[in-house]
Amino acid sequence: MAHPSRSVIRAVLGGLVLGLLGASLIFLWGCWQNAHKTCEFPETEECTFEINTALEIARLQAYASIGCALLAAGGYLLVRRNPA
């Protein structure tokens, strides 16, 4: 049987992995929404600014999604490792 403190650490890391995976999906959903932004009056200066801002935010959300997914994958590899 594993040491009780190791079980607690594995449980905490498992929760962290699930939280990072959820955050990655939320960022990805927000990225998709911002990438498909439309406005009521196209070809106006305000519309162009709004769309460009939404695309920049979508780019940052995509990077955040990738980062959270990579951290979740690394945490999963730590959790699934056999305790010795």
Residue 6 lies in a domain: no
Q: Which residue in 56, 59, 57, 37 sits closest to 47, CA to CA? A: 37
Residue 7 lies in a domain: no
Residue 8 lies in a domain: no
Residue 27 lies in a domain: yes
Residue 4 lies in a domain: no
User: What is the residue range of 57's domain?
Assistant: 17-80
Can you give the pTM of this predicted structure? 0.82
Q: How many domains does the chain have?
A: 1
Per the listing, tokens 């890391």 go with 13
User: Which residues are CB-neighbours of 83 under 8 A, at least 6 positions away?
Assistant: 2, 3, 6, 10
Q: What is the pLDDT of residue 82?
A: 65
Q: What is the C-alpha separation between 73 and 84, in angstroms, rounded?
A: 21
Residue 31 lies in a domain: yes
Residue 63 lies in a domain: yes
Phi-psi label, residue 30: left if phi above 0, alpha if psi -120 to 50, beta otherwise: alpha
Residue 5 lies in a domain: no
Q: Give 10-residue mean pLDDT values along the chain (84 residues).
A: 76 93 96 92 90 96 97 91 62
